[in-house]
Amino acid sequence: MEAILTDCVRNSLQQLMHRNAIFMCERLCAEFPSEKNMQLLASCYLQNNQAHCAYHILKGTHMPQCRYLFALSCFQMDLMNEAEAALSPNESSTEVPNGAAGHYLLGLVYRYTDRRQSAINHFNQALSLDPLLWAAYEELCILGAAEEATSVFDEGASLCIQKQYMHRGLASQSLHAPTEEHDIASTRILGTEDVSPRKLKHVHGNNLRDINGTTSNQPMNGGPTSLPFYNTPSPMAAQSQFSGVAPPPVCRNAQQNGPSMRTYGADNSPRVAVNSAVAGPRRKFVDEGKLRKVSERLFSDSGQRRSMRLAGESVSTNSNVSLVSGNGTSHSSKYLGASKSSSVASRSLTIRKGQSWASENADEGIHHDAYDDSRLNITSSSLSPSADNRSLEPEGATRSSSAIVLSSSRVIDGASDILGLLRLFGEGFRLSCLCRCQDALDIYVKLPQKHYSTGWVLSQVGKAYFEMVDYLEADRAFSLARIASPYSLEGMDIYSTVLYHLKEDMKLSYLAQELISTDRLAPQSWCAMGNCYSLQKDHETALKNFQRAVQLNSRFAYAHTLCGHEYVALEDFENGIKSYQSALRIDTRHYNAWYGLGMIYLRQEKFEFSEHHFRMAFLINPLSSVIMSYLGTALHALKRNNEALEMMERAVLADKKNPLPLYQKANILVSVGNLDGALAVLEELKEYAPCESSVYALMGSIYKRQNMYDKAMLHFGLALDLKPSATDVAAIKAAIEKLHVPDEIEDSL
């Protein structure tokens, strides 16, 4: 009876018949109370969005899957402490239930409770366990701590392989990897591999990287251990524990054993390159391992694993390939050739390792030509031999399922393809989170057309243009995104801001209406609506809309920032500060909120604070000319005029189309008394923006100071013609009155 009920429940769940599932499952639990059945009931509740029910029934359970579901319900109910307690009862990462998913959830918990470092660690671990866990990589990017995509998505495979073969040591990437602080994050073997890729990629301080480096280093130190090294699960475990020790030794061993033909061996240099990037050789191993793992998993019935495995495979293959490429040109090419043929030729497990690497390397090579060849050479050579040797050995051991291996070739191919794609996506996303927008755009352009024209990519492209203050291009990209997936709300809040900047009220209201009718419960729709009202200067209604967005999802940082902007427009600075700070609490790298705080303090004349906040924004987004010009303004207010001028220069260089830095520069020059310099700048500005009344007004006031009344009169007149605001009209007219000129001047006003 129990079995029948269980099947019935599973079927209902699959068919998404939640009520039926819940009812039957409750009968099941009443009849056969057990943790397993409780877990099933909880998953029914969670699928039906009843997290509170799941929370209550799972309280106190011990099975890992139960703990995971319990933590998930706590997370949805915002009970972070309990979620954390459930997920990490023994303080040891290996105890985190549900592997990668558990690490990911734990990472989220840490992120929302402000423990950035731990969050990063866990996301990295999640990624190492499951390289296809894109969400974890995304979170890392948002936290600003992601490693380069190539290293991440290479390792996956290797990690799998490692698990399979326990020889992560091969990843003996150079120990140099950890120049950056190593986050403990994914110690896994990938770590070593990551090190090399890291070098290849020249990425800074990604945790993965560091870990890889460390891990790789470790193996190296370990020296070639023989098979036992590979066979023991402990190294793996150790590795996963952020101790670079395990992996490096493994790698080392691999290398030392002489160039085995495993793919690593093929190109020591490539391998080394990988290591230097550290990822190189490791990757190969990882890939292999992954491939193996994937294949094995293919045959097991764990759905989740399967996808992960597949991902892993591709990742591994990709990583290998990339590793190869990274490594030194000579080696890589050699390697690639070898690997390719090998991989293609024999899918058998024995050769698989080499092959998988080969194919992976090939892929990698394609993707990552920029790798540090020199590095690779060094490391790969060392690694490959050992790696090869090592891999070969374990291979034999793990080779039992040759059948699996054979089918795994397909998996390997698929894996490499997926990994290749993920690499591009990941790199693009990472760069755009680091605000290196032009680079990100270059990467996205490399994607195949069918992926480029999906809503996600187009809205990322739009976002990149938005951050470069190129609103027209952003508009174009976003409208294509709307056409591609009209139901998707991702990034539409940014689109509404773009339209706000362009003052397209028709388009903006249309967008807002569409979004609300698509999904009334999404914060992005209300953000768009709020922007619409704000454009019409109805700040109170706009504020209400933004507050609604916040209520719908209090973890949506941009809604908080927009609330802050509206409060400032309403001159309610206290609440504005609170809103911006809430935004920052959710996402420290949200530079708009830092900018907003800087503006408030500038208004309140707290110039030190203002400068600090603008500087924080600048550190996060160093390419934005707007932030630079405001930082300059704050410096000017602090009387640090030289620095201010320097900053303005940089702003001018950063974006030629932005007239503001020039104007501010003129302001600063006026205040230091360099009137001629200011006039020169303003003349230049006049060419660029001939319809800007404030330029003429400022010129008029400068001429007045220089007692050139005619010119002053002329410019004031021009300024008035351009219809400035009422306050300025009054100010300009007052200035004209004060000109020591005969009364006829007054009439002209």
Partner 1 sequence: MAESSEGEEEGKLTGGNQQLVVDDDLREMGKKAAWSVSSCKPGNGVASLRDDNLDTYWQSDGAQPHLVNIQFQKKVKLQLVVVYVDFKLDESYTPSKVSIRAGDGFHNLKEIKAVELAKPTGWMYISLSGSDPRETFVNTFMLQIAVLSNHLNGRDTHVRQIKVYGPRPNPIPHQPFQFTSTEFITYSTLR
End-to-end CA distance of the chain, in Å? 96
Nearest to 74 by CA among 85, 82, 66, 62: 82
Place of tokens 């034999």: 396
Between 89 and 659, CB nearer to partner 1: 659
- Least Å distance between CB 511 and partner 1? 15
CB nearer to partner 1: pick between 450 and 657: 657
For helices 233-240 and 116-129, give the axis angle rounded to 10 degrees. 150
Please say whether the beta carbons of 270 and 374 come within 8 A. Answer: no
**Residue pair 594/618 in contact by the 8 Å Cβ criterion:** no
Tokens 């991902």 belong to which residue? Answer: 311
Long-range contacts formed by 651-654: CB under 8 A, 24+ apart: 651/625, 651/626, 652/625, 654/623, 654/624, 654/625, 654/628
- 197/724 with CB nearer partner 1: 724
What's the one-letter identity of residue 478? F
Alpha carbon distance 42, 695 (integer Å): 66
CB atoms within 10 A of CB 397: 15
How distant is the alpha carbon of residue 631 from its chain centre?
A: 26
What are 366's two structure tokens? 């394609």
CB of 559 to partner 1, least distance (A): 13
DSSP state of 399: T
Q: Which CB, 20 or 694, lies closer to partner 1? A: 694
Q: Which is nearer to partner 1, 256 or 524 (CB)?
A: 524
Nearer to partner 1 by Cβ, of 335 and 594: the residue is 594
Q: What angle do CA 467, 470, 476 make, to 5 degrees?
A: 105
Between 239 and 534, name the residue whose CB sits nearer to partner 1: 534
Q: What is the DSSP string of 221-234?
A: HH----HHHHH-HH
Residue whose structure tokens are 């000017």: 636
Residue 727: how many CB atoms within 10 A of its CB? 8
Instruction: Return the number of the residue (81 or 604) whose C-beta is nearest partner 1.
Output: 604
**Number of other CB atoms surrounding residue 307 within 10 Å:** 16
Task: Select from 341, 358, 190 the least CA-distant residue to 265.
Answer: 358
- Residue listed under structure tokens 């033909």: 261
Please, what is the minimum distance in Å from the beta carbon of residue 716 to partner 1?
11
* Closest to 144 in 3D by CA, of 372, 503, 436, 401: 436
Choice between 450 and 537, CB closer to partner 1: 537
DSSP bridge partners of 57? none
Is residue 178 within 8 A of residue 275, CB to CB? The reply is no
Between 321 and 660, name the residue whose CB sits nearer to partner 1. Answer: 660
d(CA 201, CA 194): 10
> Smallest distance, Å, CB 493 to partner 1?
10
The least distance separating partner 1 from the CB of residue 619, rounded to whole angstroms, comes to: 15
460: CB partners within 8 A, 6+ apart: 428, 429, 432, 440, 444, 491
Return the half-sphere exposure (C-beta side, CA atoms, 13 A cut-off) of residue 352.
40
Three-state SS for 137-205 is HHHHHHHCCCCCHHHHHHHHHHHHHHHHHCCHHHHCCCCCCCCCCCCCCCCCHHHHHHHHHHHHHCCCC
Q: How far is the CB of 476 from partner 1 (least distance, A)?
A: 16
Angle at 116 between CA 111 and CA 245, to 5 degrees: 120
Q: By the criterion CB under 8 A, which residues form the site for partner 1?
A: 469, 471, 497, 500-503, 537, 562, 565, 569, 571, 592, 595, 599, 602-603, 624-627, 629, 633, 637, 657-660, 663, 667, 688-689, 691-694, 697-698, 701, 719, 722-731, 733-734, 737, 749
Q: Smallest distance from the beta carbon of 613 to partner 1, in angstroms?
A: 12
Is 189:250 a contact under the CB 8 Å cutoff?
A: yes
DSSP string across 578-600: HHHHHHHHH-TT-HHHHHHHHHH
3-state SS, 418-460, equals HHHHHHHHHHHHHHHHCCCHHHHHHHHHCCCHHHHCCHHHHHH
String of DSSP letters for 20-66:
HHHHHHHHHHHHS--HHHHHHHHHHHHHTT-HHHHHHHHTT--SHHH
Pick 301 or 571: Cβ nearer partner 1? 571
Indicate the residue among 229 and 533 with the shorter CB distance to partner 1. Answer: 533
Classified as helix, coil or strand, 278 is strand
Nearer to partner 1, 260 or 633 (CB): 633
Minimum CB distance to partner 1 smaller for 412 or for 593 = 593
Least separation, in Å, of the C-beta of 641 and partner 1?
Answer: 14
